[in-house]
Every structure is written in C-alpha cells, then in structure tokens.
Amino acid sequence: MTDDELSQLHAIIEGRVQGVGFRYFVEENAVDLGLTGWVRNCWDGSVEVKAEGKRPALDRLLTAVQRGPRSAFVTNVRTEWLPTTGEYASFRVRPTAD
C-alpha cells in the first residue's frame, strides 16, 4: 500500500472513554487530518470510529485514539482495516449506537 492509497479504519476504543470528551477529541483530530467518517458512543461504554482517508492520516488518528484526551484512560483499541466506501462527505459525531 502506498501513502496515497485510501483505506478505512474501523476501531473500537475501550476504557474510560465516555463522559470525557472523547468523541469530540476524535472529531477534531479527524477533521484536522482531512478524514471523513464518524465517531459514536456505544451502550457497552466503548467508543466506535469509522474513518476514511489516506493511510498515513489514519495511522495518526489511530495513534491519537490510543492516547485519547487528557481525562480519558484507554485500555484497549480493536482495529480493522477495510476498503473505502466513499460514503462519507465529512467527519461527524453520531448518536449512541445500539
């Protein structure tokens, strides 16, 4: 894969990641990196992210979510790399998932 190839990152972030501004932290980082997709809380206490863009930018987003905002405590990040769908026009926060 070259740096110009597009990819999709699907990540589930676990730990103290709700109620600490995590979704807005992800949104700010993704927008700054020029990525599209979404972030949302899940009922089990995790945060889910789907982001599309160039692989170097996705790698930087992954590094950011592994750390999280100052008040978060990330214990695990499950990742899956997928082909892009091109369905996202921007990056946004979505409502909590079922």
Give catalytic residues, as residue numbers: 23, 41
Q: Evaluate whether 47 touches 90 at the Cβ level (below 8 Å).
A: no
State how far the Cα of 2 lies from the Cα of 21, in Å rounded to an integer. Answer: 33
Length of the chain: 98
For residue 2, CA distances in Å to 9, 80, 92 come to 16, 18, 27
Q: Cα separation of 49 and 47, whole Å?
A: 7
